[in-house]
Amino acid sequence: MGFTKYTTQKDKERVRMNEGIRALELRVIGPTGQNFGIMKTRDALSKAQELMLDLIEISPLANPPVAKITDYGKFKYEQKKKDKDVKSKAKITETKESQVKIGTSEHDMHIKASRIAAWLREGHRVKIDLFLWGRYKYMEFNFLKERLQRFLAIIPESYKISDEIKKSPKGLSVVLERDLAGKTASRGPNTSEKQTPEMERAEA
């Protein structure tokens, strides 16, 4: 323990302490949480030196700023721990994308569905495109929508639809996000149903 000097420019920019404190007076907290009240900064510095500790500004925007007499090494460790906790609790989400086609094999569909389920469990939104090409672009919207719903039905994770099925530059698209309530959105027809002659012709 002792009266610490700045060791890096990063530390100097992050926190004001000791002679780096600019305010003329401070509300001072002691090393065990005791309230020393408002003190002239020079007097607070003397108190910190007397205790062989540092004077660290912890609330620079308060009026007057709040400073604590403590060991800088301990303060730095606690700040790193707090920052780590905040990062671990923060949800890092993004929109993942997956693409399916009419005629994709059942095996590949289940692989894609499992990957989407994993993304949903991680808290990500997932945009799914039913990619259309050639004559598929001109098929009825409801028929194509049903095809996309058949794929949604095999995703092994609860979800809710945040953006409904609609036309997109690639064909049809839908955006899903995890349903924390555990209630899966309406998933359309049962995938075990037999295909209609129209569907068989579409995949031919």
Q: How far is 133 from 73, CA to CA, in rounded Å?
A: 63
Phi, then psi, of 186 in degrees rounded to 5: -60, 125
Q: How far is 37 from 44, CA to CA, in rounded Å?
A: 10
* pTM of the entire predicted model: 0.47
pLDDT digit of tens for each residue in the chain (204 aa)?
455 665 555 555 578 889 889 999 999 999 988 999 999 999 999 999 999 999 999 999 999 999 999 998 888 888 888 877 766 655 557 899 999 998 889 999 999 999 999 999 988 999 999 999 888 888 999 999 999 999 999 999 999 998 899 998 889 999 999 887 764 444 444 433 334 433 333 443
C-beta atoms surrounding 116 within 10 Å: 25
Q: With the CA atoms of 16, 19, 22 and 27 taken in that order, what torsion angle do they form, in degrees rounded to the nearest 10?
A: 80
- The domain defined by 9-74 folds into Ubiquitin-like (UB roll) (3.10.20)
CB 200 within 8 A of CB 103: no
Token duo for residue 55: 């004077």
Q: CB neighbours of 166 closer than 8 A, spacing ≥ 6?
A: 172, 173, 174
Q: Does domain 95-190 have CATH number 2.40.50.90?
A: no
pLDDT score of 133: 87
pLDDT score of 56: 92
pLDDT score of 79: 83
In eight-state DSSP terms, residue 196 is: P
pLDDT score of 190: 41
How many residues are present in the chain? 204
pLDDT score of 55: 93
Q: How far is 199 from 201, CA to CA, in rounded Å?
A: 5
Q: How far is 159 from 59, CA to CA, in rounded Å?
A: 42
| Domain spans in the chain, listed from the N-terminal domain onward | 9-74, 95-190
